[in-house]
């Protein structure tokens, strides 16, 4: 039978590490800067698309007036 002090030693040797979490970034997880850059790219594409759409609509209106 183990004594109380021996049992304590074996218990302190056990380490309960989290699976990932605080040990580093999870795989597949993007850094915040990348997320912002991706978001900005998406917004820029959207603005360009809207600009093209507006230009087409204006061109149609001009044709109709003539």
List the chain domain ranges.
Answer: 30-66
Judge if pTM exceeds 0.85: no
pLDDT for position 40 = 96
pLDDT in tens, 29-63: 778 888 999 999 999 999 999 999 988 888 888 88
Instruction: Give the dihedral of Cα atoms 42, 43, 46, 52; nearest 10 deg.
Output: -120
Helix (H) or strand (E) holding 11: helix 4-13
């Amino acid at each position: 039978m183990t004594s109380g002090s021996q049992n304590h030693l074996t218990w302190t040797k056990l380490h309960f590490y989290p699976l990932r979490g605080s040990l580093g970034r999870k795989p597949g997880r993007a850094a915040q800067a990348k997320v912002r850059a991706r978001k900005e790219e998406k917004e820029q594409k959207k603005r360009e698309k809207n600009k093209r759409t507006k230009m087409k609509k204006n061109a149609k209106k001009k044709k109709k007036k003539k």
